[in-house]
Amino acid sequence: MHSTATMASLPSLFDLTGQRALVTGAASGLGLAIAEALLEAGAEVVLSDSDAPALDAEVQRLRKTYTKVQQRVIDVSDGAEVDRHLDVIAAEGPIDCVFANAGMSAGRGFLAEQGRLENVDPAAWEKVLQVNLTGVLTTLRAASRHMKPRGQGRIIVTSSIAGLRSEAHSGYAYVASKAAVNNVVRQAAIELAPFNILVNAIAPGPFATGINGGRLRLPESAERMRTYIPLGRIAQPHEIQGLALLLASPASSYMTGAIIPIDGGASAR
């Protein structure tokens, strides 16, 4: 089913009032920043994460400002668990937007000895792919199942510029999972376009979050990025909010299958 696009007033293009959204990996970092942007735009937001204490602390903080905040502890690598939680969320009301943001680091890249090919740990490889790749697939699958009957929806995946090019600072499992995620996004976008479900990905560069042990928050990381990143600095989590809101809102009504870098110019080199 295809919808007929209608012109919206400019103020309404980024208005999410009445919309319901789910953000995975929302207890910290980019997921939390995305959830805050959606709430500020008027959406009802379900924050999910596998870290129950951290999730509860952030939700309690947000409830001091926003009333439409819910939480669910979800392990995205468990497909049955994702399906079960999405069924409950959908029973409470339509799901308009899902951010498949949950992910994990694979440790250091090959510039460090532990990140070289001969030192790749098979168990760690499987764990990273289970969260970063299978977790995206399970979230996409569950979200689309509820969106297709309505003939509308938006699914936004957090990928990485490490999925667009070689990245010496990132572990093999991470770059492999993010490259695969990009093609899953493109494939799903084509399949779901007839149902007016838009599927896009955000590909962040270096952001100062807790991933990879919070290494990018260290002064030496900031110094290294001055030469690696054209803008000369590491991004702060709030800097993802504008792009996230664009993809969740009516402003992106003709966008699907896009992998959008937000990286200070790194992928332009």
- Closest C-alpha to 82, from 94, 95, 92, 73: 73
What is the three-class DSSP state of 147?
Answer: helix
H/E run at residue 155 = strand 153-158
**Cβ within 8 Å of residue 32, ≥6 positions away:** 26, 47, 58, 237
Buried b / exposed e over 92-120, threshold 16 CB at 10 Å, is eeebbbbbbbbbbbbbbbbeeeebeeeeb
Report how far residue 105's alpha carbon sits from residue 233's, in angstroms, rounded to the nearest whole number: 21
Please give the positions annotated as active site: 174
Phi then psi dihedrals of residue 170, to 5 deg: -110, 145
Q: Which two tokens stand for residue 233?
A: 């600095």
Helix, strand, coil fractions of the chain, as percent rounded to 5: 50, 15, 35
**Cβ–Cβ contacts within 10 Å for residue 5, how many?**
10
Report how far residue 72's alpha carbon sits from residue 199's, in angstroms, rounded to the nearest whole number: 23
**Cβ–Cβ contacts within 10 Å for residue 234, how many?**
22
